Structure 1
Amino acid sequence: MNRTKTALAATLALTLATGAAQARDLAFSVFVPAASPTVQHVYQPWVDWFNEQTAGDDVQITLYAGGTLGRNPLAQAQMVADGVADLALTVPSYTPGVYPDFDVFELPGFAQNTAEGSQAALELYREGALTGYEDYYVVAMYSSGAYMLHTREPVATLADVEGLRFRVAGQIQTAVIEALGGVAQSMGAGEMAEAIDRGLIDGAMTDASVARTFRVADVAQNHYDSNLGVLVFTILMNRDVYDSLPESVHEVLAQSGQFIVDRQIEVYGPAIESNLEDWRNSDTHTLVIPTDDERAEIARRVQPVIDMVAANATPGLIDAYVAKLEDIRSR
């Protein structure tokens, strides 16, 4: 009897040890500040939802925000490939020439807001229209709001952009600013406000939420709402890590892309609209909406940029993007 009890105890201990060994804690690297609205209202709610769905599989995600695992936005995909993180937030445009298909989203005059940009990017990727990231599992893909110009001095018309120095991120934003007559200055998002305040640059090209989060709007109180494209973000997972997870977790990951897009649309879009409304009613801010003629002039000036992107992207991608946007607007 004692031998039987001993054997049962040993079996139970082995079972518990095996179960403990199978428990997985996946590290999610996010380079933006922990206090940012996207972390608080998109990434963390997704992590909480994911962990609830996968509790039975002993798989969970832990979010490391503010660059805890690595601050360089350009290094995030490599961190995932190297196993420093299991998942990471990345920005395709931060590595020029590596993911040319994603340049289409940064073109002015296409997606008008985060809802259109996010849904279009996710659906085009799932349909196989976008190449890139084949070495990873793409958990999610979504976009910022439409980019605009934020300046120290008022920009009442497109002519006022001539010669102004703007912070940009990536080669497409650089090409767009130069096409509009401005001077592109590349720097990190955290450097924008100080550079404007010190007079090193005249403004920044970003959406209304980023302008508020990174305090650009504190020092650049003039806003030219010119629909200058959106910025696409991806959440990548190490492919070997993905393959090692059970099928039930794969199913949760398959649902995660739309979950994150829905949260982005629900939270990020209204935050942008709130900022625009505040600036519209402010005594210290100006919000300029370009006329139809100015929008036509912007389109004319950036057409060479569109042609360049089309030449480097998958053939027919821009037409597919336009068709997808039209489909989304008709729903």
Structure 2
Amino acid sequence: MLKKNLTGAAAGVALGLMGSVAGARDLAFAVFVPAASPSVQSIYQPWVDWFNAEAAADDVEITLYAGGTLGRNPLAQAQMVADGVADLALTVPSYTPGVFPDFDMFELPGFANNTREGSLAALELHQEGLLHGYENYYVAAMYTSGAYMIHTREPIESVSNLNGTRLRVAGQIQTAVVEALGGVPQNMSAGEMAENIDRGLIDGAMTDASVARTFRVADVAPNHYDANLGVLVFTIVMNRGVYDSLPDRVKDLLAQSGQFIADRQIESYGPAIETNMQAWEADAAHTLVIPTDAERAEIAARVQPVIDQVAAAATPGLIEAYEAKLEDIRSR
């Protein structure tokens, strides 16, 4: 059912979708990021094009609604799918603290080193039934960002320099990590990072290298501390009732979609991060610090209480399974 409080353009689009949602033929895919973003251009639209070509014989297609057309609030995307406002939606588990505790471990420092490791680990652990929290949905895709690092106005040469540093974070795990490292976490949206750093309201931000470039953080925070501070999980979820109504061949396409999207993320996002890192290293206006083994050991020791907290809230044995999965991925 459509929520009665939808207004304006979103309501008009959603009302026009009522028949298609009921028939589960024209599937509305809600994405809260802009249509011009690299994720839409390199990942979501290519996936939609591939799916539509493959599902044409079954008279099923996906229509992509980017830029928050069906709802701009990133925290409300899963509920939009549950309510039938959209058939599929991009969601971020960490945006709703406490709802998906199994996913908190991906944001822990010292585990996944890059987009490939994080994306394959998340997807495969989900496929093996080890990640819980989305049982009321069909999960079409699961993948991650690159490893988070710290970008600041002033140089950060070691973890001790983080004491008292005001850093933008997103969510409770990043908040706990920054506090453990001596920083002062400041929760705000990605779009607010650069302006607040430029105005001196915060000293820097914790995010990966691609986001730092896309949201202009690197323009105002040219000092980069590559401390491998965890990755962020993204999921594309589908209304369970809509999924159940689809032909088996279309369900097979959805089963293939997770690997399709993870591969596209790895192929496009990973190299973008490497390009940014190389540019910063070659630019005299930037500093790029790689922590020593001793520094990494100190970071690990400081965040161990956060790891213990996450492990206690997650499915028993999940973090150990995550570590084993990462080792397996690195050996391939």
TM range (shorter): over 0.9
TM-score w.r.t. the length of structure 2 is: 0.92
Q: Deviations over 1:11-40 (max 9, x none)?
A: xxxxxxxxxx96821111111122221111
The equivalent of 2:117 in structure 1 is 116
| Matching of residue 225 in structure 1 with residue 231 in structure 2 | no
- Whether the 8 Å contact between 2:24 and 2:242 is mirrored in structure 1 is no
The equivalent of 2:252 in structure 1 is 251
- Secondary structure at the residue paired with 2:218? helix
Report the AA paired with residue 66 of structure 2: A
The equivalent of 1:211 in structure 2 is 212
Report the AA paired with residue 28 of structure 1: F
Query: Bigger radius of gyration, 1 or 2?
Result: 1
- Whether the 8 Å contact between 1:109 and 1:227 is mirrored in structure 2 is yes
The equivalent of 2:293 in structure 1 is 292
Measure, in 2, the Cα distance between the counterparts of 1:136 and 1:200: 40
Q: Deviations over 1:252-292 (max 9, x none)?
A: 00000000000001110000000000000012111110111
- Whether the 8 Å contact between 1:101 and 1:130 is mirrored in structure 2 is yes
The equivalent of 1:238 in structure 2 is 239
Q: 272-281 or 192-201, which moves further after superposition?
A: 192-201
Report the AA paired with residue 59 of structure 1: V
Measure, in 1, the Cα distance between the counterparts of 2:315 and 2:268: 32
Matches within 5 A, 1:3-14: none
Measure, in 2, the Cα distance between the counterparts of 1:316 and 1:40: 37
- Secondary structure at the residue paired with 1:234? strand
Matches within 5 A, 1:1-331: 24-331=25-332
- Whether the 8 Å contact between 2:24 and 2:246 is mirrored in structure 1 is no
- Whether the 8 Å contact between 2:87 and 2:238 is mirrored in structure 1 is yes
- Secondary structure at the residue paired with 1:54? helix
TM-score w.r.t. the length of structure 1 is: 0.92
Q: 106-115 or 62-71, which moves further after superposition?
A: 62-71
Measure, in 1, the Cα distance between the counterparts of 2:27 and 2:213: 31
Measure, in 2, the Cα distance between the counterparts of 1:210 and 1:138: 24
Report the AA paired with residue 65 of structure 1: A
- Whether the 8 Å contact between 2:165 and 2:183 is mirrored in structure 1 is yes
Q: 138-147 or 197-206, which moves further after superposition?
A: 197-206
Measure, in 2, the Cα distance between the counterparts of 1:72 and 1:108: 27
- Whether the 8 Å contact between 1:122 and 1:141 is mirrored in structure 2 is yes
Aligned-pair distance for 1:95?
0.5
What is the aligned residue count? 311
Structure 2 gap ranges (5+): 1-21
Moved over 3 A (4+): none
- Whether the 8 Å contact between 1:23 and 1:58 is mirrored in structure 2 is no
Measure, in 2, the Cα distance between the counterparts of 1:211 and 1:33: 16
Give the RMSD, CA atoms, in angstroms: 1.0
Measure, in 2, the Cα distance between the counterparts of 1:125 and 1:322: 15
Structure 1 gap ranges (5+): 1-20
The equivalent of 1:3 in structure 2 is none
- Secondary structure at the residue paired with 2:142? strand
Report the AA paired with residue 31 of structure 1: F
Q: Deviations over 1:146-182 (max 9, x none)?
A: 0000111111111111101111111100000000000
- Secondary structure at the residue paired with 2:194? helix
Identity of aligned residues (%): 79
Q: Deviations over 1:219-278 (max 9, x none)?
A: 111110000000000000011111111111100000000000000011100000000000
